[in-house]
Structure 1
Amino acid sequence: MIVITAPTGNIGSQVLANILDSAERIRVIARDPSKLSSQVLNRVEVVEGSHSDAAVVKKAFAGADRVFWLVPADPRAPSAEAAYLDFSRPACEALKTSGVKQVVGISALGRGWPKDAGHVTATLKMDDLIASTGVSYRALACASLMENFLRQAALIRDHGAFYWPTTADRKEPACATRDVAALAARLLLSRSWTGVESIPMLGPEDISFDEMMAIISDVIGKPVQYHLMAMDDLKAMMIKRGASEGMARAMVNMMTAKNEGMDHLVKRTPSSSSDTPTSFRRWSEEVLKPALVA
């Protein structure tokens, strides 16, 4: 049996869709099962509650041998460690006494970075905690997600603008959630792998914001201008929107590390590009443009 966490979120819902037609028994942990479609509800078992709850994960993991693990965003958490590491502790305790053999988790690039990188540092500590339970673990180490652009969809559509604290000409890896979900599903449907490994999710190429703005402008047929934000402005914006001081600081620390080269610690290989083949242009055509119209 496969257990899917965060089944109504962006990545989790795609992972679930990718395995729904398999012959596997599937169980999901959902805080609000009403958000699941009738097709899903007719196919899966549902354990209602949060996967940070010890009783919930103990019930969900009973009889399962594979788990997809994703910590949902919680900007109001007091710190990144609370959001990722502490959230995962009950599940890791449950893993030790369950029959779960394999876990596939959503993680981040940055292993080996010497300074605090906020969300990334906390996520990597979570990976270590999961691995310490004795399960075989695959951490899908994501670069920045293309879907982050959707958070500024209204600005792009109505004002032709996008704001971020990275210089416009800096090339960075970027990946699409569809590719992350596809690999997660393939791993969940395979019992052949063992041990602990981090798999870089780099996208097909490094790309700058200048290049991405040109692509978006071409795809939607109107110019979109990139605006460089100050880190202090990013922090203030997050707090204004309800984030805690600790989570806003964690975002600044992560973005500072990315700007200093953290996402380039892992070198590209043919497999790291082929695992995440969706180009930014294709993503813009198939995901961003429809979202702007909607």
Structure 2
Amino acid sequence: MIVITTPTGRIGSRLLDLLLDRAPARGEELRVVLRDPGKLPEAVRARVDVVTGSHGDPGTLDRALAGADAVFWVAPPDPRAPSLDAMYSGFTRPAATAFTAHGVGHVVGVSALGRGTPVAGRAGHVTASLAMDDLIAGTGVAYRALANPAFMDNLLRQTAALRDRGVFTDTVAADRKAPLAAARDIAGAAARLLLDRSWTGTGEVPVLGPEDLSPNDMAHIMSEVLGRPVRYERQSLDDLRASLTGYGFGAAIVDGYVDMMRAVDEGLNDGVPRTERTASPTTFRQWCEEVLAPAVRA
């Protein structure tokens, strides 16, 4: 039995699709945990065991983890959380207890790059995510943290600006090259780990994409794919803070994003070499052609 948290999320939904294709041939049953089962297509609900509730709730976890062999774990975003520790480790602590109580053998979690870098201890959300990894690893379960850079899919939040003004924004220097991964490749890495549970111990699985790109590189590729000029505008950290505050994010969460983006510009994602094991297949151009362009033109 494989349990999937956040099955309608950016990564979880893609993971669920992959497992629905591959798990039955391996004799694997699937269970999902979510607050609103209505968000799943009816055809999907018919093929999985659904547990309704929050996966941060001990009672829900007892129902979800009964008979579970493996778990895909994500601490969901909470813009109003009182602290980063509450959003990550606080939310995960009941699960850490439940993993042990139910004898779960393997857990795959979504985390971030940065462990071992000079800025890892002051990187906001990343620092809190790495602490969550340590909490899970400390239970004795076999654990793999998917260590991710920025997602290509984050650009989907800027489709209106790309369509109307030919602009996208971020806070990093325009010429800073960094890894970039597609959510579908992160889901693919999770699926492989969940289906082949021959691994033991704890560790990280970086998902780096096939190449490092700067915002200027991304603008050039988007210009070619979209057939119109696209330019990058660098946003200041103060502007980022004001934007997030305007969206109603709590002070602790806003501080966490600002600290994380400052750390990214100081090399947070630069410490892991790209190898055959850490590279993932989807190029930014391919992602733009298959995902971004249809969204912008919709």
1:269 matched residue in structure 2: 275
Cα distance per residue 1:88-114 (max 9 Å; x no partner): 111111111112100011110010234
2:259 matched residue in structure 1: 253
Shift of 1:72: 1.6
Shift of 1:236: 0.7
Residue type at the aligned position of 1:12: G
Alignment partners' CA distance in 1, 2:39 and 2:276: 38
Alignment partners' CA distance in 2, 1:233 and 1:66: 41
SS in 1 for 2:269: helix
2:15 matched residue in structure 1: 15
SS in 1 for 2:277: helix
Contact 1:201 1:272 in 2 (8 A): yes
SS in 2 for 1:77: coil
Cα distance per residue 1:100-154 (max 9 Å; x no partner): 1000111100102343100000000000000111110111000111011111111
SS in 2 for 1:15: helix
Structure 1 unaligned blocks of 5 or more? none
2:286 matched residue in structure 1: 282
Structure 2 unaligned blocks of 5 or more? none
Alignment partners' CA distance in 2, 1:38 and 1:261: 44
Matched, 1:107 2:114: no
Contact 1:102 1:135 in 2 (8 A): yes
Residue type at the aligned position of 2:57: D
Pick aligned residue for 2:64 from 60, 64, 69 = 60
The alignment's C-alpha RMSD in Å is 0.9
Alignment partners' CA distance in 2, 1:79 and 1:226: 32
Give the stretch that moved more between structures: 14-23 or 1-10. 14-23
Shift of 1:80: 1.8
1:148 matched residue in structure 2: 154
After TM superposition, list the pairs within 5 Å mapping 1:36-185 onto structure 2: 36-114=40-118, 115-185=121-191
Matched, 1:2 2:2: yes
1:230 matched residue in structure 2: 236
How many residues are paired up? 292
1:241 matched residue in structure 2: 247
1:25 matched residue in structure 2: 29
Give the stretch that moved more between structures: 263-272 or 9-18. 263-272
Alignment partners' CA distance in 2, 1:85 and 1:243: 19
Alignment partners' CA distance in 2, 1:79 and 1:152: 27
1:206 matched residue in structure 2: 212
